[in-house]
Amino acid sequence: MKWLKRYLGKAIIIAVVIIGIRFTQDLEDWSKLLHYQPSPAIAKLASAATMTDTARKLFYVNHPTIESQKLSLNLCKSSEHTIVLGCYVPSRGIFLQEVVDPRLQGVMEVTAAHEMLHVVYQRMSLLEQAQINKQLQSALAKLQNPRILKLVETYRSQDARSVDNELHSILGTEVLNLSPDLEEHYRKYFTDRSAIVLLSEKYERVFTALRKKAKALNVQLGERKSALEQLAAQVKQEATSVDTERSSLQSSISSSPQSDYNFRVSNFNDRVNGYNQLVARLREQTDTYNQLVTEHNSIALEEKSLVESLENK
């Protein structure tokens, strides 16, 4: 019986500690939310992300703010390790980078949801984290999205300890179909998780379309460059032949019969016309090639501009 009393005594102490921690956290949250009123922009983000009441509480208790790119860099420099759109810094709050480019509509909503899920993960007990980590790793093993897989490996190479935490936020906001257990978990925080995933896919398609177009132009440029080089070589060869024929005509102007000379001049003029047509073709194809180069460079600059509007390295 003594061992049972000791066991019960320890269990009671542990329970009291857990209840105390939970009570302290609830009290702290209550204190932070007592006089807090989210700005219209922050409330709009929470609504667009379809956050549940539980999620909104975790979001608002961290007093989220929308910051400029420069300030976001300073506030988040020790947090995320790849493209920084926002961050959750324990004991300091949630900071979201302002994104105004209309082509990237949805970025801030997804970021808000992503950071809120960091709060969820951080508040889990070690046992809860261990349980969810197994589900996350199982989902990762089935994932076929190359962009997300590459992103996860980036986190792994920089800080392997952050992978599960990041994966919890990434899967919750960027992957549509998950296991029933994970879907049940995320339902605590989103009334319609598919809405936030669709926003994520929407702005990702902007980058995908640009890369696809750039790839197609690269193929065209390669083909046209090869054709241009062949045509340029043909023009050069024909120019040499025309010059040789001109020299021959000039040297035979007094020695050849008039009828032969006139015949050769007629042929020469035909050849010159053909040469001029080749030169015109070369000029036209060169202009087309240069237009494609300009279009390709424009796409590269557009993608660079989009990335720079998000990136804080």
Q: Helix 126-142 and helix 163-174: axis angle, to 10°?
A: 60
* Domain ranges, ordered by start, for the chain: 44-203, 208-310
Which helix (H) or strand (E) is 156 found in, with range?
Answer: helix 146-158
Q: Looking at residue 266, what is its pLDDT?
A: 66
Q: Classify 224 as helix, strand or coil.
A: helix
Integer angstrom CA distances of residue 166 from 93, 107, 111, 199: 17, 17, 12, 19
Does the reported pTM lie above 0.85?
A: no
Q: Looking at residue 16, what is its pLDDT?
A: 45
Q: Looking at residue 47, what is its pLDDT?
A: 96
Q: Looking at residue 273, what is its pLDDT?
A: 79
Q: Tell me: the pLDDT tens digits for 98-132?
A: 888 777 788 899 999 999 999 999 999 999 999 99
**What is the per-residue burial (b if ≥16 Cβ within 10 Å, else e) of 252-279?**
eeeeeeeeeeeebeeeeeeeeeebeebe
Q: Do residues 62 and 118 make contact, with C-beta atoms less than 8 angstroms apart? A: no
Q: Looking at residue 307, what is its pLDDT?
A: 62
Low pLDDT (below 50) residues in the chain: 11, 13, 15-20, 79-83, 312-313
